[in-house]
C-alpha cells in the first residue's frame, strides 16, 4: 500500500493508526506500507516545524528515527533530493529529477509508479527506490522536451515510456 497526500494528513492526526497499518500490511503476502510525504506533510507526521527539517543532517536523523519507530514502513521523503528510508536498510538519496517536477500531480505519478512495482511483487523498499529513480528520470526526459515551466504530470507519464524506450 502506498499513502500520499490526504492519507498522510489523516495519519498525522491519528499516529496510532500508522503503527497498526504498518504492522498489518507487513503480514500480507508481499505486503508493506510506503509513505510518500513532501516536507510539509512530513512536518505534520513528525509534529515539528519546517525549520527543524531543513538542515539535511537533521532531516536524515529525523527520517531514520521515524522509520525505526514505524517499521516496517518505508518512507520516501520528497524534495529536490528524495530520501528513501526503512529500518535496517541503507538510506537512499535519489539524485534524479528536476524543477519541472514541482507541480501538482507529480506525487500522484510517483504513487502510481511505486504501486506498479509493488504489483510486480517488488519489496517495499526496492519499489520505493526504483519508483523514485524512474520518476526522476521521467521528469528529466519530460523537461528536455517541454521545459521546466511547461512540464505537467501527464508529461511525466510520457517521460516514463521515453526512459524505458517503450
What is residue 29's predicted lDDT score, i.e. its pLDDT?
A: 73
What is residue 18's predicted lDDT score, i.e. its pLDDT?
A: 93
Lookup: cell for 165: 524506450
Burial of residue 164 (number of CB atoms within 10 Å: 0-12, 13-18, 19+): exposed
Q: Give the number of domains in the chain.
A: 1
Neighbours of 115 (CB within 10 A): 15
**pLDDT classification of 166: cutoffs 50, 70, 90:** low
What range defines the domain where residue 44 resides? 2-164
DSSP result, 56-122: HHHHHHHHHHHHHHTTT-EEEEBSSS-EEE-TTSPPEE-----GGG-STTHHHHHHHHHHHHHHTT-
**Per the confidence metrics, is the pTM higher than 0.85?**
yes
70-100 pLDDT tens trace: 988 999 999 999 999 999 878 999 999 999 9
Distance CA(38)–CA(103), nearest Å, equals 12
Neighbours of 47 (CB within 10 A): 8
What is residue 26's predicted lDDT score, i.e. its pLDDT?
A: 83
- Order the strands of the 2-3 sheet from edge to edge: 2-3, 34-35, 74-77, 83-85, 92-93
Q: What is the CATH number of the domain that holds 18?
A: 3.40.1190.20
Lookup: cell for 121: 511483487
Distance CA(14)–CA(11), nearest Å, equals 5
Amino acid at each position: 500500500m502506498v499513502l500520499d497526500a490526504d492519507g498522510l494528513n489523516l495519519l498525522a492526526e491519528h499516529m496510532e493508526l500508522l503503527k497498526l497499518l504498518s504492522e498489518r500490511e507487513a503480514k500480507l503476502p508481499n505486503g508493506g506500507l510506503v509513505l510518500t510525504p513532501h516536507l510539509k506533510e512530513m512536518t505534520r507526521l513528525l509534529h515539528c516545524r519546517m525549520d527543524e527539517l531543513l538542515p539535511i543532517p537533521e532531516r536524515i536523523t529525523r527520517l531514520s528515527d521515524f522509520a525505526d519507530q514505524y517499521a516496517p514502513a518505508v518512507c520516501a521523503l520528497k524534495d529536490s533530493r528524495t530520501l528513501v528510508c526503512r529500518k535496517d536498510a541503507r538510506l537512499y538519496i535519489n539524485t534524479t529529477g528536476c524543477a519541472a517536477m514541482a507541480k501538482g500531480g507529480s506525487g500522484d505519478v510517483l504513487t502510481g509508479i511505486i504501486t506498479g512495482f509493488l504489483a510486480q511483487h517488488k519489496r517495499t523498499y526496492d519499489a520505493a527506490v526504483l519508483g523514485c529513480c524512474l520518476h526522476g528520470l521521467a521528469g528529466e526526459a519530460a523537461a528536455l522536451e517541454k521545459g521546466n515551466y511547461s512540464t505537467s504530470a501527464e508529461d511525466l507519464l510520457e517521460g516514463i515510456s521515453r526512459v524505458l524506450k517503450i
